[in-house]
Amino acid sequence: MGDFVQSRTTTMNVIRFSDLCASGKARNQRVFIRADLNVPQDATGAITEDTRIRASVPCIQMALEAGAAVMVTSHLGRPTEGAFKPEDSLAPVAKRLGELLGRDVPLLADWVDGVTVAPGQVVLLENCRVNVGEKKNAEPLARKLAALCDIFVNDAFGTAHRAEGTTYGIAQYAPIACAGPLLAAEIDAITKALAQPQRPLVAIVAGSKVSTKLTILQSLAKNVDQLIVGGGIANTFMLAAGLNIGKSLAEPALLDDARAVIDAMKARGAEVPIPTDVVTAKTFAADAVATMKKATEVADDDLILDIGPETAAKLAAQLKAAGTIVWNGPVGVFEFDQFAGGTQAIAQAIAESKAFSIAGGGDTLAAIAKYGIEDKVGYISTGGGAFLEVLEGKTLPRLKFCRNVLQANNRLAYTPQKAACTAAFFWKKFGYTEIFRIVMSKLHFDRKFFRKKFSSLRNILRFANRKKS
């Protein structure tokens, strides 16, 4: 599987918060946890689905039990930097987090310049994306964030694809940066599912548009044994296969791309199953009348809103025979019960399959919750965009940083000589500005001595070259 495997297996080597806690290194330390608490809310602000909050509890509990002073923050929604509004507040999250932890969780505003919290206590820091400079990973903000803590813990896989102040910048300057249990579990699960899969490997990719997931489909087409498409994506693939889809959502401009994916799968002896029957309606509405049809009998005024029972049964059989299943997206408009049969059949098949399964994406989580199969899925990823980027074959910024830090630690035997060589390595990889940020903050040796001896890039490189010769 080539680069596809490599991009995932290398992410395994990260510093883990659990190891720091087990060794007593978190006791009496200020621990800053970046969690992903971005949960859906209704019009009144009430939380409608709390998977991400529940998933964040183990890390917080681990820090408290280790005797740390715990700070937790997250984004929520899409706030405007520097312009806090009541609807941006993490107050509902603080309430739910307190219920899950069995303790009061104070919510602190205006926290960037300082936080007071004692060992054994936990506070929630208001929406981090309100802070000016968060999204652009501004250095002044990152330095202020790092000054708040002794240990930075990234436990937010859902934001691991974004190089922001609380996900990446803080890690550059914090005395210790590590992966929380949720992030570490995500890494392990993704590696198991994609880098070291049991065959057959079946991927389900569904959504409204091919364009949003084209690169994912192209990447998976090179590696999976079955590529199941659903939703509007399936409509485009049906159209590419020469079927009439009526007035269904599709992207005619991407038919050649869809055909290329189909051909790439065929060339490997794999398959993109095209629906043989569908469930249609004349309108998109909760009370729309559902009609079962053969895929060849779709009328010009039909909307395809689900796969039919014949197709669902075929796909379910493939899933039950799979060794590994990756699931991103429902295959129909499952929010409407009359168009939920396909997604329910898929969910049930995954639950009954002996395969290792990993599922991710907001709609996927909602489907899992609707059909009550949480305990039957091998791993439920809390990451939406991050999960998709991993499927696409990208190396996430946060995981890349963790890996580079550990590599540097492994290269260094804590001597100034080897520190110089490591600095030279980072200079080639990142440029001058990153040398002291990474080497000085992450590696354990006499920093004062190093600063005095190697006061310039020229001295570092000269010393490193002399040592090599």
- Rg of the Cα atoms in the chain: 25
Rounded distance, CA 329 to CA 29, Å?
41
For residues 270 and 241, the answer to whether their CB atoms sit within 8 Å is: no
Whats the size of the chain, residue-wise? 469
Close Cβ partners of 431 (under 8 Å, ≥ 6 residues apart): none
Q: What is the pLDDT of residue 214?
A: 77
Clarify whether 341 is annotated catalytic.
no
Of 199-203, 293-297, 393-397, give the range with the top mean pLDDT: 293-297
Q: Is 383 helix (H, G, I), strand (E, B) or coil?
A: coil
Residue 311 neighbours by CB distance under 10 Å:
24
Rounded distance, CA 412 to CA 391, Å?
33
Clarify whether 362 is annotated catalytic.
yes
Residue among 370, 391, 385, 261 nearest 326 (CA): 391
Close Cβ partners of 284 (under 8 Å, ≥ 6 residues apart): 303, 305, 333
> Hey, what amino acid is at 280?
T
For residues 193 and 358, the answer to whether their CB atoms sit within 8 Å is: yes
Which entry of 385, 394, 437, 467 is annotated as an active-site residue? 385
Across the chain, what does the average pLDDT equal?
Answer: 82
State percent of the chain over pLDDT 90. 57
Query: Positive or negative, the Cα torsion across 51, 57, 60, 62?
Result: negative
Query: Cis peptide leading into 106, omega within 30 of 0?
Result: no
Rounded distance, CA 211 to CA 233, Å?
9
Residue among 372, 305, 298, 380 nearest 338 (CA): 305
What pLDDT band is residue 220 in, cutting at 50, 70 and 90? confident
DSSP structure class, residue 377: S
Q: What is the pLDDT of residue 162?
A: 62
Tell me which residue has tokens 């396909």: 342
Q: Which uninterrupted H or E stretch holds 178?
A: strand 176-179
- pLDDT(467) > 70: no
Tell me which residue has tokens 């991400």: 52
Q: What is the pLDDT of residue 159?
A: 60
**Crossing angle for the helix pair 255-267 and 231-240, to the nearest 10 degrees:** 80
Mean pLDDT on 298-308: 97
- pLDDT(346) > 70: yes
Which entry of 16, 95, 192, 209 is annotated as an active-site residue? 209
What pLDDT band is residue 148 in, cutting at 50, 70 and 90? very high
For residues 413 and 443, the answer to whether their CB atoms sit within 8 Å is: no
Close Cβ partners of 350 (under 8 Å, ≥ 6 residues apart): 319, 325, 327, 357, 359, 373, 376, 377
Rounded distance, CA 443 to CA 224, Å?
40
Which entry of 30, 34, 52, 213 is annotated as an active-site residue? 52
- Give the count of alpha carbons within 13 A of 144, CB side only: 17
Spatial strand order of the sheet with 303-307 comes to: 291-294, 277-281, 303-307
Indicate the range of 12-16, 208-212, 260-264 predicted with least confidence: 12-16
Q: Is 132 helix (H, G, I), strand (E, B) or coil?
A: coil
- pLDDT(94) > 80: yes
CATH number of 14-187: 3.40.50.1260
Q: What is the pLDDT of residue 170?
A: 92
CATH number of 199-354: 3.40.50.1260
Q: What is the pLDDT of residue 3?
A: 37
Clarify whether 437 is annotated catalytic.
no
For 154-183, how does the pLDDT look when each residue is reduced to its tens digit (9 = 90+)? 998 656 556 788 988 898 899 998 989 988
For residues 162 and 136, the answer to whether their CB atoms sit within 8 Å is: no
Spatial strand order of the sheet with 356-359 comes to: 226-230, 201-207, 324-328, 356-359, 379-380
For residues 326 and 214, the answer to whether their CB atoms sit within 8 Å is: no
Clarify whether 162 is annotated catalytic.
no
For residues 240 and 214, the answer to whether their CB atoms sit within 8 Å is: no
- pLDDT(136) > 80: yes
- DSSP string of 184-225? HHHHHHHIIIIISPPSSEEEEEEES-STTTHHHHHHHHTT-S
- pLDDT(130) > 90: yes
Rounded distance, CA 209 to CA 218, Å?
14
